[in-house]
Structure 1
Amino acid sequence: MIVHCGDYYADAQEIRARLGIPVLAVKGNCDGCFDFEACSLLETECGDILITHGHMEDVGFSMQKLYYKALESGCIGAFFGHTHRSVFVETGGVYLLNPGSLSQPRDGSGGTFALVTTSEAGLQAKIYYYEDFMLPAAGVGSTGGGADAPDNSAADNSAAGGTASAPETPASPAASPVAPAVRKPKQKPKVKGGHLRSLINYSDRF
Structure 2
Amino acid sequence: MKILVVSDTHGHDENLMRVLQREWPIDALIHCGDLEGSEDYIPEAVECPCFFVRGNNDFFSDLPKEEVFSLENYRIMVTHGHMHGVSLSTCQLEEEARSRQVQVVMFGHTHYPYLDEEEDLTVLNPGSLSYPRQPGRKPSYLVMQIDEQGKAHYEHRYLEKS
Using structure 1 for the length normalisation, give the TM-score.
0.58
The alignment's C-alpha RMSD in Å is: 1.9
* Pairing 1:189-200 to 2, within 5 Å after superposition: 190=161, 192=162
* Pairing 1:54-203 to 2, within 5 Å after superposition: 54-91=81-118, 93-107=120-134, 108-119=136-147, 121-131=150-160, 190=161, 192=162
Larger Rg belongs to: 1
Letter in 2 for 1:128: R
Paired residue total? 130
Answer yes or no: is 1:48 the counterpart of 2:75: yes
Mapped partners of 1:66, 1:32: distance in 2: 22
Moved more, 69-78 or 89-98: 89-98
Letter in 2 for 1:111: P
Mapped partners of 2:151, 2:119: distance in 1: 15
State percent identity of aligned pairs: 31
Letter in 1 for 2:109: H
Residue in 1 aligned with 2:30? 3
Letter in 2 for 1:90: E
Structure 1 portions without partners, runs of 5+: 132-189, 193-206
Mapped partners of 2:89, 2:110: distance in 1: 11
Which 4+ runs in 1 deviate beyond 4 A? none
Q: Deviations over 1:26-69 (max 9, x none)?
A: 00111138xxx720013022320101000000100000011011
Letter in 1 for 2:39: A
Question: 1:9: how far off?
Answer: 5.1
CA contact (8 A) 1:12 1:23 kept: no
SS of 1:75 mapped into structure 2:
coil
Structure 2 portions without partners, runs of 5+: 1-27
